[in-house]
Chain A
C-alpha cells in the first residue's frame, strides 16, 4: 500500500501561470481533501470530495478548482497563480464511516509551491 501520494513534491510558478496538483490514494477511501498550510494558521480546507464525481468548497476555495473523476484521484488546479497561493499543500483521505478507523485521515507528504 502506497497510502496517499502527491505529485509534484516541489514547484515554482510565475504569477499568472497554471498548474495541477495530483493526489492519489489506494485505500478505496470515499472522502478526499485538499488543505493548505501556512505558518501559524494550521491546515485550512480548500476543497473536498465525498465520493467519485463530487466536489465541495471548503474554508478557502477562491482561486482553486478540483476534480474527482476517479475515486482514487483528486486533482487541485490553480488557473492563474498568485503569490498569495505560496504555501504547502496537503492531500488527505478517509474512509468516511463511523467506528474503527472510519473517520481517521491519512495524509500525503505535501507539495511545496512557490509563486513568484
Chain B
C-alpha cells in the first residue's frame, strides 16, 4: 500500500528567502514521486518527478527535490522564493508494480510575503 504525508498545511516565506516543503511517503515497491503545483483557480501542473534515476531531481521554475530512501522523504526546495511561487503544492506517490493509481498528499499552501 502507498501513502503520502505533507508535513505542513501552510508555509510562509519572504520573497528572496529559501523554500522548503516537506513530504514523506510510504510504498511497497520502488515508487515514482511527483510534485505538482496549482495556482489559484487553475489546474495542476507538474513541477518535477522522480522515477528511480538521479536522486536529486530538478524541475521547472528553479525547484528541486531530493529522494531519500532511508528517510522515505521527497522534500521540495527552492533557493529563493518569488511572489509568483505562491500556490498550492501537492506531493504524489505512485508505487508502480503495474499500478498507475497515484495517491495525493493533502497539499501545502505556500504564502510568499513581499
Contacts and interface: CB of A to CB of B under 8 A. Distances in A.
Best-surrounded residue of B36, B42, B90, B101 (most CB of chain A within 10 A) = B101
Given A31-B100, A109-B43, A103 B9 contact: no
Contacts of B46: 104-105
Contacts of B94: 103
B42 A42 contact: no
Interface residues of A, number: 25
Contacts of A33: 101
A115 interface: no
A48 interface: yes
A90 interface: yes
Nearest to A99: B51
Nearest to B46: A104
Given A42-B90, A45-B101, A98-B96, A109 B32 contact: no
B102 A105 contact: yes
B100 A43 contact: no
Contact of B106 (A40, A45, A58, A108): A40
Contacts of B102: 103, 105
B21 to A, nearest CB: 14
Interface of B: 9, 32, 34, 36, 42-46, 49, 51, 90, 92, 94, 96, 100-102, 104-107
Nearest 3 Cβ contacts at the A-B interface? A42-B106, A107-B44, A42-B104
